[in-house]
Chains A and B, each alone.
Chain A
Amino acid sequence: MEQLSFSTILGAWIAAFLTLGIFSYLYRDNPFYKIAEHVFVGVSAAYWAATFYWTQIYPNLFGRLFAVGGPFENIYVIDKGHEFSVLYFFPLLLGIMMLLSVFKQFNWMARWGIAYTVGIAAGLKAFGYLKSNVVEQIKASAVDLFSGSMPFFYNDTTDWYGDTVFNNIVLLVGTISALMYFYFSKEQSGGYGRFTRLGVYFLMISFGASFGFAVMGRISLLIGRFNDLILFSGPSYDYGTFWMLGFIIAVLAYWSFKNPEKQEV
């Protein structure tokens, strides 16, 4: 049997403890869940701040302001393969203005950064949305209805599949009826109301399929955690999962005895 280092085993025990701590939420909110939650939130906040600084701000901003061959070369150099660009003083300034918002009298300065972010995003995405949501939708909906490159129903052995006229009609009716559901300027009643109701059915069918697909993904994530717990329960990890499980159950039992759940009135 492979002998693992102390730090690896310790890491596995902590992972098992935190995983079981999060799972303990299934019972009710308890100190183990609180520990796992606060460690998770605290560590991730710090990790994101550090990662963001070292992967984005340091190379992409300071790497350009203090580039090799730039005007500040004699003061400080960050060699990240970028050239000096004076334009990058602008994001630096916006960043400083955001930070200054901690002082009440400079609070207004943060609005500039927010306005810049929203304005740039709106401009950049306008084209993208029109292309993907409008033009591509028109192209995808203008289907082959009449020439019939395939018969009305295509039946190869037992299954229907392929670009049949029937499929294309369903696609067209589904698209238009679902689009009409989101038409706000008319009351959804009578024949028009029934047509938009059809659109809702199409939407719900697609949501159902999407729901099932996502649940499958979640189950694979759960299996991943269980795989780790099973791995850590082996002798090479000194039965970490079992020890942690026993510890959590024992403490939870004592804690529950001392803190019975209050009934809502």
Chain B
Amino acid sequence: MNDNIKRYAIGVVGIIVVTSILSQFHIFKSERAFMFAVLLTVIMVLLNEIQNARKDSESIFLRTIPGLKAVEEAVGRSTEMGRPILYVPGIMDMNEVETVAGVIVLGHVAKMTAQYETDLDVPVARSIVMQAAREACKESYLSQGRPEMFNDDMVHYVTDDQFAYAAGVNGIMQRDKPAACMYMGKFYAESLLFAETGNGIGAIQIAGTASQAQIPFFVTACDYTLMGEEYFAASAYLSKKPELIGGVKAQDTVKLMLIGLVLVALVLRAFFDLNIVPFNIMDWIG
């Protein structure tokens, strides 16, 4: 830990020096200097934590997230009941980070369904997502030695239109009566339609999204909800890959740095307001 702090202190000083020099030579717009320094700092922390995790990922502690434990529970419940699992990877395309995270988690869920021999149904709203989700599922079934259980139709396109997609998925829920419904991706107004229908059919429901306006609906109607960062950390928790665990650790470090920066900015701003220091940090932040 001490080594890390030393490394980060030296790194941050170096970044500030480099940024100051570059901005003197007008390499980039001076008002973007703070952004540049933040970007370099985040990259530095990420690379360092990934390297640390590669050396020894076992010693990295990550607290438990109840929603993630529930994923396996939900797959087990579906197996016992002999009903399928419905997985909705949101309604947006692969250019949304939440959809990418949703497809990664789908890969892990597909591994479990391959192990437990449970049916998996993935209706999608975007053609590129369909392709990516198929690849993820196919790879998972292959990795579990069950390629014969995979078929392209388990990931199927419904429509691009938001509410038509919601109507279609609701229809699937009503007719197939999945024992578990998972909503992991970017959602808008259709979130409550899914969650209410899932609740109505008595399915165990797990949601994961960073869509701030939709989290309340999932919290209200689902059994477990992965909120924001929890959702992005899910793939690291499930895969236990050192690179991803290192990424979560790096995010934590960046959060601590941010809190520190907020407190420093707060004090310096107050000092400026009280005419104790001659510069306003808010101007420097940009």
Enumerate chain A interface residues (CB-CB to B < 8 A).
22, 25, 29, 33-34, 36-37, 40-45, 47-48, 52, 98, 101, 110-111, 113-114, 117-118, 120-122, 125-127, 130-131, 134-135, 137-139, 141-147, 149, 172, 175-176, 179-180, 182-188, 203-204, 207-208, 210-211, 214, 217-218, 264
Contacts and interface: CB of A to CB of B under 8 A. Distances in A.
A218 B212 CA distance: 17
Given A179-B255, A184-B252, A114 B286 contact: no
A186 B61 contact: yes
B80 interface: no
A138 B159 contact: no
Contacts of B273: 144, 146-147, 149
A185 B60 contact: yes
Contacts of B135: 110-111, 114
Interface stretch (B19-27, B95-103, B143-151): B95-103
B17 interface: no
Interface string B251-282: 11001101101100110011001100000011
27 contacts: A29-B174, A29-B175, A36-B167, A37-B168, A40-B168, A41-B168, A45-B160, A47-B161, A48-B159, A98-B128, A101-B131, A110-B131, A117-B128, A121-B94, A130-B35, A134-B42, A142-B269, A147-B273, A149-B273, A172-B266, A182-B228, A183-B252, A184-B233, A185-B61, A208-B216, A214-B217, A218-B189
Given A101-B131, A142-B266, A114 B38 contact: no
A224 B45 CA distance: 51
A221 B21 CA distance: 56
B47 interface: no
A55 to B, nearest CB: 13
Contacts of A145: 266, 270
Given A37-B171, A121-B95, A134 B219 contact: no
Contact of A44 (B96, B100, B161): B161
B59 to A, nearest CB: 11
B265 A33 contact: no
A77 B268 CA distance: 62
Nearest to B275: A147
B63 A184 contact: yes
Interface string B153-187: 00001111101110110110011000000000000
Contact of A117 (B42, B93, B212): B93
B contact patch SS: helix
B274 to A, nearest CB: 6
B115 interface: no
Given A41-B164, A122-B97, A184 B174 contact: no
B38 A118 contact: no
Contacts, number: 178
B127 interface: yes
Contacts of A42: 159
A contact patch SS: helix
B160 A34 contact: no
B62 interface: yes
A125 B97 contact: yes
B97 A183 contact: no
B258 A134 contact: yes
A207 B215 contact: yes
A179 B252 contact: no
Contacts of B219: 204, 207
B270 A147 contact: yes
Nearest to B127: A98
A127 B262 contact: no
A203 B256 CA distance: 19
A183 to B, nearest CB: 5
Contacts of A146: 270, 273-274
B210 to A, nearest CB: 10
Contacts of B160: 44-45, 48, 52
Contacts of A147: 270, 273-274
B111 interface: no
B133 to A, nearest CB: 10
A120 B93 CA distance: 13
